[in-house]
Amino acid sequence: MVSPRAAIVFLVAASSLAVALSADGGSGPVLYGYASGSATGPENWGKLSPEYRVCGQGKQQSPIDIVTRQAIPNPNLDTLERTYAASHGTLVNDGHDISLKFDGAKVGAITIAGKVYNFDKLHWHSPSDHTINGQRFPLELHLVHKSADGGIAVIGILYQLGAADSFYYQLRSQLAEMAADKCSFAAGEESHVETGLVHLRSLQKRTGSYFRYTGSLTVPPCTENVIWNVLGKVRQISKEQLQLLKAPLPGNDARPVQPLNGRTVQFFNPPNSTISFQM
């Protein structure tokens, strides 16, 4: 199905095979969902495919509930300073979440413990994956960075309803176009919408305070050893903008919080930083 503009819907059998084999050893894509209690729900992800085994057996899974009073201050953590270049991108809806992928350009990077992680893509979860002191937020943005040796570091930004966020104005028409695209996600279809040049300056604002811990991807295959950095300042997004992000998806796409299993959450709070939570 092709929309009047640049949306492209296509069958992604080959890429589905690259992600995982079906649980019975067949060649079809492995479908997973977010409905609790269903056969494909989060509690059953680890049973759907050998590729997803760590979703059920891993001990460093994400997301988690961050209890602020239990976070350990560490002033020696990285500042996460970064500069993101304006880049051409493509919005991708695979029926699980919406991603913004960049068209081959080097967008920017962060350095963590001396290792460089290049900005790879961003995507959204609504409601938020992470909770803070048990509170779940309307939206969470993940800025995904990857190192040359395959390491992953993610910056998580939480949103509450309020004033409009300037970043989302430039995606308004493309998200509306994507919502009008009727795909058969169960058959492996995706919706793609080219964005043109996307300005990313608002996503590189001074990071300030954040919580760090070692976790995993929040979707299958739930790969572990991901360095998570959840910002301590909650941003605002308008109700209209949130609805635009949610409209192309069949429902909520947040994984339940996972056991901490003895992991430590560290807290970085440089001078003159703003934090939205009571510590």
Cα separation, 183 vs 197, whole angstroms: 25
Is the link from the previous residue into 127 a cis peptide, with omega within 30 of 0? yes
98-102 and 115-125: which strand pairing? antiparallel
Cα separation, 155 vs 232, whole angstroms: 11
Catalytic, 96? Answer: yes
DSSP string, 255-275: PPP---TT---EEE--TT---
Annotated catalytic residue: which of 96, 123, 130, 145?
96
CB of 215 within 8 A of CB of 129? no
What angle do helix axes 172-180 and 239-246 make, rounded to 10 degrees? 40
Cα separation, 77 vs 74, whole angstroms: 6
**190 - beta bridge partners?**
10
Chain-centroid distance of CA 193 in Å reads 18
Q: Which residues are catalytic?
A: 96
